Amino acid sequence: MYKNPYKTSLVLALALLALPVASAHAEGPEDAHNQGAWNSPFLVQVRQATAPYKDINVAAQAGWFGRDSFCVSGEDQGGMGVHVANPALIGGNQPKVSQPQVLIYEPEADGSMVLVGVEYVVVAAAWNAAHPDGSTPSVGGQLMDLITAPNRYGLPAVYSLHAWAWRYNPKGAFAQWNSNVTCAKQPLPPMS
């Protein structure tokens, strides 16, 4: 039986409600060459659908909560931020552009969170059982990547697609890592 990896305690969900709110706007590219991709129908639709969740407290009240509170970063790839999932949306079905399963936030030094992107997640076992033809799920025409298990996130195999709708990514709007996202400002837990 599949165990939902995003299930967490009510305490963590309530803790999200106490976070300060950072003002956030879509931080697009400065050069005109990249404006077309930034203003693609896909990213515009994501921004419209997720605008209320720029306030992480609103996201928590709507069913999104963090599996862990750590910020995902790579040594030289950039960051992925803090992932906040809505377990009710995660399954084996073809995702919709307007309904991402995960919101991605960048932590700020004051403890607030800035919405930088979204992630679409499809459980590989459920998808593969329903699609024995070996097809790969997609979102708005973008193929999803297979993240096999075991993996660094402790998740079962999933199909995944990041969409950097709120923070421009010079690596591409759908790249896994964003060099314009950092975990450097996340407050460290107290030493014990």
pLDDT digits (tens, 9 = 90+) for 167-179: 999 999 999 999 9
Question: What mean pLDDT value characterizes the chain?
Answer: 82
Beta strands in the chain (DSSP E): 65-66, 72-74, 78-85, 102-107, 113-123, 138-139, 142-143, 145-147, 158-163
Which residue is associated with the tokens 């750590």? 70
Distance CA 117, CA 182 (A): 13
**pTM of the complete model:** 0.80
Report the SS3 class of residue 167. strand
Distance CA 1, CA 29 (A): 44
Closest C-alpha to 155, from 78, 93, 68: 68
Joined tokens for residue 128 = 């593969």
Closest C-alpha to 22, from 108, 87, 132: 108
Rounded to an integer, the average pLDDT of 74-84 is 84
Q: Which of residues 55 and 76 earns the better pLDDT score? A: 55
Portion of the chain with pLDDT greater than 90, in percent: 59
Which residue is associated with the tokens 């995660």? 90
**Contact status, residue 64 vs residue 84, Cβ threshold 8 Å:** yes
- Output the pLDDT for position 104: 96
Portion of the chain with pLDDT greater than 70, in percent: 77
